[in-house]
Amino acid sequence: MTFNTQGRIFRFTSWGESHGPAIGCVVDGTPPGIALAEPDIQRWLDRRRPGQSRHVTQRREPDTVEILSGTFEGHTTGTPVSLLIRNQDARSKDYGEIRDRFRPGHADFTYLRKYGRRDYRGGGRASARETACRVAAGAIARKVLGRRVRIRGAMVQMGEHAVDRSKWDWKAVEKNPFWCPDADAAEAWTDYLDTVRSAGSSVGAVIEVVASGVRAGLGAPVYGKLDSDLAAAMMGINAVKGVEIGAGFGAAVLTGEENADEMRMRGGKPVFLSNNAGGILGGISTGQDIVLRFAVKPTSSILAPRRTVTVDGRDTEISTRGRHDPCVGIRAVPVGEAMMACVLADHLLHHRAQCG
Amino acid sequence: MTFNTQGRIFRFTSWGESHGPAIGCVVDGTPPGIALAEPDIQRWLDRRRPGQSRHVTQRREPDTVEILSGTFEGHTTGTPVSLLIRNQDARSKDYGEIRDRFRPGHADFTYLRKYGRRDYRGGGRASARETACRVAAGAIARKVLGRRVRIRGAMVQMGEHAVDRSKWDWKAVEKNPFWCPDADAAEAWTDYLDTVRSAGSSVGAVIEVVASGVRAGLGAPVYGKLDSDLAAAMMGINAVKGVEIGAGFGAAVLTGEENADEMRMRGGKPVFLSNNAGGILGGISTGQDIVLRFAVKPTSSILAPRRTVTVDGRDTEISTRGRHDPCVGIRAVPVGEAMMACVLADHLLHHRAQCG
Amino acid sequence: MTFNTQGRIFRFTSWGESHGPAIGCVVDGTPPGIALAEPDIQRWLDRRRPGQSRHVTQRREPDTVEILSGTFEGHTTGTPVSLLIRNQDARSKDYGEIRDRFRPGHADFTYLRKYGRRDYRGGGRASARETACRVAAGAIARKVLGRRVRIRGAMVQMGEHAVDRSKWDWKAVEKNPFWCPDADAAEAWTDYLDTVRSAGSSVGAVIEVVASGVRAGLGAPVYGKLDSDLAAAMMGINAVKGVEIGAGFGAAVLTGEENADEMRMRGGKPVFLSNNAGGILGGISTGQDIVLRFAVKPTSSILAPRRTVTVDGRDTEISTRGRHDPCVGIRAVPVGEAMMACVLADHLLHHRAQCG
Amino acid sequence: MTFNTQGRIFRFTSWGESHGPAIGCVVDGTPPGIALAEPDIQRWLDRRRPGQSRHVTQRREPDTVEILSGTFEGHTTGTPVSLLIRNQDARSKDYGEIRDRFRPGHADFTYLRKYGRRDYRGGGRASARETACRVAAGAIARKVLGRRVRIRGAMVQMGEHAVDRSKWDWKAVEKNPFWCPDADAAEAWTDYLDTVRSAGSSVGAVIEVVASGVRAGLGAPVYGKLDSDLAAAMMGINAVKGVEIGAGFGAAVLTGEENADEMRMRGGKPVFLSNNAGGILGGISTGQDIVLRFAVKPTSSILAPRRTVTVDGRDTEISTRGRHDPCVGIRAVPVGEAMMACVLADHLLHHRAQCG
């Protein structure tokens, strides 16, 4: 079973709770000889780190990564890379009230039902903190994929406010706190999210992740489809409730003529004239950009009191004070990129195994 | 690697191409002592079988299943159950034209890029025929889950035409060829699909699958999340381009107050007052109905000529004659149910392993 | 879980009981483009087939293999290869007496304890018949490994009678019914085994399998050691009770000076001056011959009456009439070769995945 | 792939090199609610710790384990348990000479061939230090198995000197530095090993591990046989070259009458009258003691100069000074016990999954 493990050949196993001493992961299957040092991972962790703008949780975590194994003289050796990130700002005193009450929309109830006990000091394994491990593993996956592959994420919708795709500018993404590719939308979102935050509320989002430079042929026809693995990877990110590839749910309203991407020879090479497929046909990459989107639900930790029950079966209410995200989707952008990188690296190695 | 295998403990490995002598699968991990004979599987295969109405492919396949192992005196023994379904109506002469041209929207191009060769007589492993194996495995999974768990699928949107959810009637589903839960919509769809079909076109669809009676506690917090596995299972069905759980993409436009399902004690038991979570919180089942939807793209095999290229690099056109589905989503309904059953059975056994 | 599956990337799943309609396996992960037709597999099955001399079971099984998928125009396509072998000579009437009594040394008791039921008509999955699937999968594995790798097995001990290693001749192996590399020993064994057989008794054996031409670098340092996987593969063959690599148990009585294989440069290449390691150091192949041995217990199905108990708890006796092997080790030779081939093919593909 | 992971449901992934900052492992699949704190693990680590007698390496490692995740209020939560053990006495200066020369009998050569680079400061992943992780994981496995199951190991042969089985006394095992069950043999071994050590030589050993109280029914018929998994687990321990179950290689010289364990009813229960099977029939536990032995080669790090070659292809010699074990088999005893515990715990959980 691989219940805390992601991937097959390039694979990582994560561990740790938000209120323990540390979190971390073990990345296995990395090819030897790849230049890898802590800054290669830290730069990606820094993008995900909380507390960087007023729009995300104010929990202060430096998220400093230590490499404990698997490298020698600045290169991977082919043995497992163990990564450690210490928890610093746990402040478990904040969480006293949630000890006995199930927070609506949280995993408190299901954890207790499954395991019969739970670490009531925070989200445990369900904490978004675990996603730091994904970002760290993703940093190594990017190294495995090489420079030719570029993976970028963007928030394309916050609440009801979608970007204008005609204004898409990848450069804009790095210039606003929302990873928004539409500079105008980003500005509007700033006010919008301030309102949401001051109301103690929260709002959902849609994230798009695009991988360019992926060679054709990655994936497998049936139960190891590239899109199937991507769907699992994205749906496994905290708070994600939907995933779509290429035209996605929009494909349902297309006709066959509209949907199927036609082909033509260009400069001696076959090219597709559109990309409704999102770069994947029959579970295998086409060589076009791989394009997916996922929906993130609004954080359930909100100020407004909500009806719930106690662990011992009484009706009550709860309102979550503390350092939470008005739009948890923001921090999901680097996580989605990382998961894309991990899935692609795994398929790259598997393709090499079977097809040379 | 598990590239033709679905599941961990309750798992099946499928094999076979549309134009070979047979297809089949090996179902492993089945608990011993379950009453199982061929009719238990055949009844579900019959629901998926092509040629049952003018709205689906007219390929004539009886899809008769044979159990070759794993049962004794009408019960499972705990050893692998091998299922065989012979191909009958392969008619490879129909497929001559596609030998040298990539069909847009099909896996022809990606298969050739990956493997360097392909069975040009049909879709090979990418054929929807493979889904018969999933339905067969799903029939056994239903037995593993027991009678308390009920899994039902319905088509909720055909092209642009969605059902009216206020008219939802599960009984209607079995009474029209579309598995449509809204009898009025079904009637309208009949004319609509006739038009699509006579135009040689095709159209997409959205399918909803609901599992009732699933106990709380199935799933796992991180990379073996129940929703993650369901997303992979549904995205792995042919032509599926999107998957969502509960409120799904709709959750992106909700606030935290609207989205998080509140709780109250009812008859001494905690109940949820809504089900935006789709029955899953933190990757673990809540005990509510598990509700998911997936989007199916329109069949790419259409009569209208489409631009494409040949295997040896010349621009050309193709129009697919033959026995194809104007709305391949129809036959995806029993497949989605089956995949839901397989994932739940697998998680049920795993939960029993870890938590007793 | 992989309880009926062998391997990771090159992997096969077997199914079937000795008294069902057929047995078979699904071989997954095969690289595309390998020339493969039924005779390529049949030739290896024919070597294992029962009834070829008076020294093995007289059960008459042609063991004719059918390829049901995964090849096209005489080559593998990269999709799963499904192999089917029909049972012909089941004669379940022979097995009436064993319905209610546990045969000492057989799996009857443990199957019933595990599953609560069992197919009492024969050995079920524990039947040596299952090993035909291993030989069939092994035939494909040999193709994956290519001609440079040569895998040969020999019986080096029958009962107390070991071969004289100074007389080792691989050509002799194919010329006697025991796969014995020492022609003189083979002659002596003929009389010996006739005596054992006429007495209704049985005797154990030791088999040696050698793989030549295996490149250095296959394997992994810790839990996927090449020797670890080989040990599992051999111990998983019916009736095997011990496995050793290189000097094996003999290494226990050596000193460090005697055991460690020294190295010298020869023709510009490093060579080992001995092979106590059996071609594996630290779980990774050295490039020398991979040498292992396994011990096969005597068949438990013997004529002499043995004390046992009935399913419903009464003391009784049993003597097994029927068509059994006086030295089941004989038929284990091709099976050991096949398992060696499967493990090496799997590691070859994995090495290519990680190290290019 | 599971190249640094052991097990299926109860599984652990180890990481770390002998000369890095730490080693550790992540134990996944542990049932929730098991009392677990650091001393529960430390007591087993202390038994394996080097430097406890003059007969083992004098490397000083306190091997203090830290639990970083997976427990709360002294009990397992069902989430992954991350264990960390810091390296203290790395002294890499000792290892300068081995930078450029392959040590005969070590994995230096194969690592370099596989990965193209290696951590020349020590054994890397091949270091016996890694086995501390196994012992730690084994401590948790023992908790999973419960008190009814008792796993004990003993050294039954050192070099050519075997114990006298008629003098077997489990109490003696804890009273001598060799885990020897024969007090007289232990005394003789003391002098013997002093001689070996002063000569700068080393010697092999045979270890026996016995598990009592294991219920019948654990295991699986074909590729997940309990004996197959045990063989892999033991062969995966550093320096192990052979594994046998029950009568093992001795079964080769037995007749069917001698080998098959007869049965009788005793106090209303079926019992076996002998245990040549070593507690496993058809890959499934019988309820008798599970008995296995494994052979450990002599340490290759010896004082006597040995012929070898340099990394850049010149003939040379090497003699290993430093803190090595004259009989590395001694420290393998707790490791063998731990691996037995891990395999049994994994099968216990899997049995519960499939058979309830």
Which chain D residues are closer than 8 Å to B352 by Cβ? Answer: 352-353, 356
When the pLDDT of each residue in chain C is averaged and rounded to a whole number, the result is: 92
Q: What is the pLDDT of residue D1?
A: 43
Which chain A residues are closer than 8 Å to D352 by Cβ? Answer: none
Using CB atoms, pick whichever of C23, C69, C125 lies closest to residue B20: C69
Q: What is the pLDDT of residue D297?
A: 97
Using CB atoms, pick whichever of B32, B79, B350 lies closest to residue D355: B32
Print pLDDT tens along chain D (356 aa): 468 999 999 999 999 998 899 999 999 999 999 999 999 999 999 987 766 777 777 667 788 999 999 999 999 999 999 999 999 875 555 566 778 899 999 999 999 999 998 888 877 888 888 999 999 999 999 999 999 999 999 999 999 999 999 999 999 999 999 999 999 999 999 999 999 999 999 999 999 999 999 999 999 888 889 999 999 999 999 999 999 999 999 999 999 999 999 999 999 999 999 999 999 999 999 999 999 999 999 998 888 899 999 999 999 999 877 666 899 999 999 999 999 999 999 999 999 999 98
Using CB atoms, pick whichever of A103, A205, A284 lies closest to residue B252: A205
Identify the chains in contact with D, defined as 3+ C-beta pairs within 8 A: A, B, C
Q: What is the pLDDT of residue D33?
A: 96
Q: How does pLDDT run across C206-237, given as a tens digit for each residue? A: 999 999 999 999 998 888 899 999 999 999 99
Which chain C residues are closer than 8 Å to B124 by Cβ? Answer: 77, 79
Band of pLDDT at residue C97, cut at 50, 70 and 90: confident
Flag whether pLDDT at A140 surpasses 90: yes
Nearest CA in chain B to C25: B26
Rg (CA), chain A: 21
Report the percent of chain A where pLDDT is more than 70: 95
Q: Answer with the residue of higher pLDDT: A9 or C300.
A: A9
Which chain B residues are closer than 8 Å to C26 by Cβ? Answer: 4, 13, 15, 26
Q: How does pLDDT run across B227-252, given as a tens digit for each residue? A: 999 999 999 999 999 999 999 999 99
Q: What share of chain D is helix, strand, coil (3-state, %, to 5)?
A: 35, 25, 45
Q: Answer with the residue of higher pLDDT: A50 or D243.
A: D243
Give the 3-state secondary structure of C274-342.
Answer: CCCCCCEECCEECCCCEEEEEEECCCCCCCCCEEEEECCCCEEEECCCCCCCCCCHHHHHHHHHHHHHH
Q: What is the pLDDT of residue A181?
A: 98
Which chain D residues are closer than 8 Å to C284 by Cβ? Answer: 107, 110-111, 113-114
Which region among B59-68, C63-72, C80-89 has the lowest average model confidence (pLDDT)? B59-68
A297/B224 touch (CB, cutoff 8 Å), yes or no:
no
Band of pLDDT at residue B33, cut at 50, 70 and 90: very high
Which chain B residues are closer than 8 Å to A285 by Cβ? Answer: 110
Flag whether pLDDT at B1 surpasses 50: no
Q: Answer with the residue of higher pLDDT: B121 or A331.
A: A331
C349/A353 touch (CB, cutoff 8 Å), yes or no:
yes
Q: How does pLDDT run across B270-311, given as a tens digit for each residue? A: 999 999 999 999 999 999 999 999 999 999 888 889 999 999
D295/C125 touch (CB, cutoff 8 Å), yes or no:
no
Band of pLDDT at residue B70, cut at 50, 70 and 90: very high
Distance from the Cα of D163 to chain A's closest Cα (Å) equals 39
D355/B221 touch (CB, cutoff 8 Å), yes or no:
no
Give the 3-state secondary structure of B84-127.
Answer: EEECCCCCHHHHHHHHCECCCCCCHHHHHHHHCCCCCCCCHHHC
Distance from the Cα of A92 to chain D's closest Cα (Å) equals 13
| Residue position matching structure tokens 């018969």 | B132
Which stretch of DSSP H or E encloses residue A25? strand A22-28
Using CB atoms, pick whichever of B1, B79, B352 lies closest to residue D221: B79
D354/B1 touch (CB, cutoff 8 Å), yes or no:
no
Band of pLDDT at residue C323, cut at 50, 70 and 90: low
Band of pLDDT at residue A1, cut at 50, 70 and 90: very low
Give the 3-state secondary structure of chain B.
Answer: CCCCEECCCCEEEEEECCCCCEEEEEEECCCCCCECCHHHHHHHHHHHCCCCCCCCCCCCCCCCEEECCCEECCEECCCCEEEEEECCCCCHHHHHHHHCECCCCCCHHHHHHHHCCCCCCCCHHHCHHHHHHHHHHHHHHHHHHCCCCEEEEEEEEECCEECCHHHCCHHHHCCCCCCCCCHHHHHHHHHHHHHHHHCCCCECEEEEEEEECCCCCCECCCCCCHHHHHHHHHHCCCCEEEEEECCHHHHHHCEHHHHCCCEEEECCEEEECCCCCCCEECCEECCCCEEEEEEECCCCCCCCCEEEEECCCCEEEECCCCCCCCCCHHHHHHHHHHHHHHHHHHHHHHHHHHHC
Q: Answer with the residue of higher pLDDT: C338 or B4.
A: C338
Question: What is the interface size between C and D, counted as CB pairs within 8 Å?
Answer: 396
pTM: 0.96
Where would I find the beta strands (DSSP E) of C159-277? 161-162, 205-212, 240-245, 263-266, 269-272
Please answer whether residues C295 and D246 qualify as being in contact, where contact means their C-beta atoms are separated by less than 8 angstroms: no
Q: What is the pLDDT of residue D180?
A: 97
B223/A236 touch (CB, cutoff 8 Å), yes or no:
yes
Using CB atoms, pick whichever of C16, C28, C73 lies closest to residue B3: C28
Nearest CA in chain D to C4: D223
Flag whether pLDDT at A108 surpasses 70: yes
Neighbours of A269 (CB within 10 A): 10
| Residue position matching structure tokens 């390691």 | C277
Flag whether pLDDT at C92 surpasses 60: no
Flag whether pLDDT at A90 surpasses 70: no
Which chain A residues are closer than 8 Å to C9 by Cβ? Answer: 9, 350, 353-354
Using CB atoms, pick whichever of D8, D24, D124 lies closest to residue A79: D124
Distance from the Cα of A328 to chain D's closest Cα (Å) equals 24
Q: How does pLDDT run across A261-297, given as a tens digit for each residue? A: 999 999 999 999 999 999 999 999 999 999 999 999 9
User: Phi/psi of residue A184, each to 5°?
Assistant: -65, -45
When the pLDDT of each residue in chain A is averaged and rounded to a whole number, the result is: 92
Which chain B residues are closer than 8 Å to A253 by Cβ? Answer: 157, 159-160, 204
Using CB atoms, pick whichever of D223, D257, D265 lies closest to residue C314: D265
Q: Give mean pLDDT, residues B183-205.
A: 95
A13/D28 touch (CB, cutoff 8 Å), yes or no:
yes
Calpha distance C328→C338 (Å, rounded): 16
Which stretch of DSSP H or E encloses residue A67? strand A65-67
Q: Which amino acid is at C299?
A: T
Which chain C residues are closer than 8 Å to B114 by Cβ? Answer: 32, 78
ipTM above 0.90, yes or no: yes
